[in-house]
């Protein structure tokens, strides 16, 4: 999906969550940043901010 539209905030969020759970925190951070850069809906923004890693982004 991201090949066709790399700005899909929900897909980037879910990939970030997956990498976070796998312990790949740098990749998770990258995907969370991509999700937020796409001006996501409030529920995506809220879910990204639930991850402790999010506090270190930016």
> Which residue has better confidence, 29 or 55?
29
Got the DSSP string for 28-47? Answer: HHHHHHHHHHT---HHHHHH
> For residues 10 and 34, is the Cβ–Cβ distance under 8 A?
no
Per domain, the residue ranges of the chain are: 9-56
Q: CATH number for the 9-56 domain, one of 1.10.8, 3.10.450, 3.40.1000, 1.20.58? A: 1.20.58
The predicted-structure confidence for 2-54, as pLDDT tens digits, reads as follows: 667 778 899 999 999 999 999 999 999 999 999 999 889 999 999 998 988 75
pTM of the model: 0.82
């Amino acid at each position: 999906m991201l090949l066709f539209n790399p700005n899909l905030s929900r897909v980037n969020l879910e990939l970030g969550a997956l990498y976070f759970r796998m312990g790949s925190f740098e990749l998770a951070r990258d995907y969370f940043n991509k999700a937020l850069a796409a001006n996501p809906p409030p529920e995506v923004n809220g879910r990204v901010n639930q991850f402790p890693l999010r506090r270190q982004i930016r």
